[in-house]
Structures are given as C-alpha cells and as structure tokens.
Structure 1
Amino acid sequence: MNTKELIQKARERGGYPSLASLAKAVDVNHSSLSLLASGKSELSDETYIKLAKLAGVDPTEVIIEKHMRKAGPEGQKVWATLAKALPKSAALLVVVALVVPYNQAHASTIQILQAAKYLLC
C-alpha cells in the first residue's frame, strides 16, 4: 500500500473530513502530511504506525514497506526476507527494536538492515 492510499484509508476509516484534521490526529503539520501523500517526503516510523492503526492496516507491513521503498536493491531483499521469515507480531518487535534505537543514534538504513540480516541468519 502506498502512502497516498494509506492516508486516504486512514481519513475514511477514522472519519477525518480533511487532510488537516488527520494531520492533527497523528500530531504532524498539514504540509508534512501533504508532502507525504504526494511522495515528496517521509515521516517518522511513529507517524506511519499511527496512520496504519487509523487505517486498520497492520503497522508491521507499513513499516516494512516504508523501509523497502527507501532501501537499495540489496536492502530490499533483506526487508523482503524479514517480512516473510517472521510472524507479524515478531516482525513488529524486530522492526521496533532495530529502528527506534538506531534512528536515535542516526544510524544508516544499511546498518539497520545488517542488524536485521544478522538476526535472521
């Protein structure tokens, strides 16, 4: 599911009549959400998780799809393996365990993917 579809589904399912009202609900400014919907920007994993919950979509899949889009060809393979290898609940724990601490330390996506690959092997 692309970000535009995710945002639209969150608006419809959550009953938000405008993009501005949805932005307020997920605690981002309207322009940031608009840029996300147009594919010109990325937002935090936490924002994606909030949108997924409002949309009634599995947050694990949304986070994995986000990182797959951002990764290069080798990284995409690792994220795809991660998505297939773990049950959804375990995948969410791995994503949270890898992404949250590493984002705080400003680690690269490659470092996150290397850690995920290490855990899968």
Structure 2
Amino acid sequence: MDTKELIERAQKKNGIKNMTGIAEAIGINQSSLSLLKSGKSELSDETYIKLAKLAGVDPTEVIIEKHMRKAGPEGRKVWATLAKALPKSAALLVVVALVVPYNQAHASNIQILQAAKYLLC
C-alpha cells in the first residue's frame, strides 16, 4: 500500500475530512503530510507506525514496504522474502518492532535483514 492510500484509509476510517486532522493525529504538521502524500518526503518509522495504526493497517507491513521502497535491488529481494515469510513467523514482528528503532542509531538495514532472515530459517 502506498503512502497516499494509507493516508486516505486513515481519513476514511476515522471520519477525518482534511489533511490537517490526520497530521495532528500522528503528530506532524500539515505541510509534512502533504509532502509525504505526494511522494516528495519520507517519514520516520515511528510516524509511519502511528499512521498505520490510525488507518487500521498492520504497522509491520507498512515498515517493510517503506524499507523495500528505499532499498537497492538486493535489499528489495531480502525485504520481499521477509514480507512473504511474515505470516509464517511471529519472530519477524519482534525483530521489526525491536530492531528498527535500534537501526536508526546503530545498525544498517542489511544487519537487520540478516538478523530477521536468521530467525526465519
């Protein structure tokens, strides 16, 4: 699901008629949300998680899709493998929930992917 679709789903699910309402609900300003919706900006994992919850969508899937869009060809393959394995393993939920915030300060996406792949094997 792309970001525009995610925002629209959040609006519909919560009866929010304008972008300002969505922006306030997830703790950002309206101009940042407009840039996000147009594809000209990217938000933090934490903000995507808030938006996913507001839209009633699994935050794990949203984070995987975000990182898949940002990854190079090899990284996309690994993220796609993880996305397919998601229903098979609750361990991936733990990896994404615990390691993604850690990633921002310490680890590379490749290290996270390697750890998640190890848990799925």
Paired residue for 1:43? Answer: 43
Provide the alpha-carbon RMSD of the alignment: 1.7
- Secondary structure, counterpart of 1:86 in structure 2: helix
1:13–1:56 Cα contact (<8 Å) kept: yes
- TM-fit CA distance, 1:71: 0.6
1:78–1:113 Cα contact (<8 Å) kept: yes
Distance between the aligned counterparts of 2:120 and 2:92, measured in 1?
11
Unaligned stretches of 5+ residues in structure 2:
none
Distance between the aligned counterparts of 1:80 and 1:120, measured in 2?
13
- TM-fit CA distance, 1:59: 1.2
Paired residue for 1:16? Answer: 16
- TM-fit CA distance, 1:116: 2.8
For residues 60-75 of structure 1, what are the structure 2 equivalents within 5 Å? 60-75=60-75
Unaligned stretches of 5+ residues in structure 1:
none
Paired residue for 2:5? Answer: 5
Deviation by residue 1:50-95 (Cα, 9 ceiling, x = unmatched): 1111111111111111111111111111111112223374332211
- TM-fit CA distance, 1:109: 2.5
Query: What is the total number of aligned residue pairs between the two structures?
Result: 120
- TM-fit CA distance, 1:13: 0.7
For residues 1-121 of structure 1, what are the structure 2 equivalents within 5 Å? 1-87=1-87, 89-105=90-106, 107-121=107-121
One-letter code of the match for 2:8? Q
| Percentage of pairs with the same residue | 71
One-letter code of the match for 1:60? T
1:52–1:58 Cα contact (<8 Å) kept: yes
- TM-fit CA distance, 1:41: 0.9
Distance between the aligned counterparts of 2:21 and 2:101, measured in 1?
27
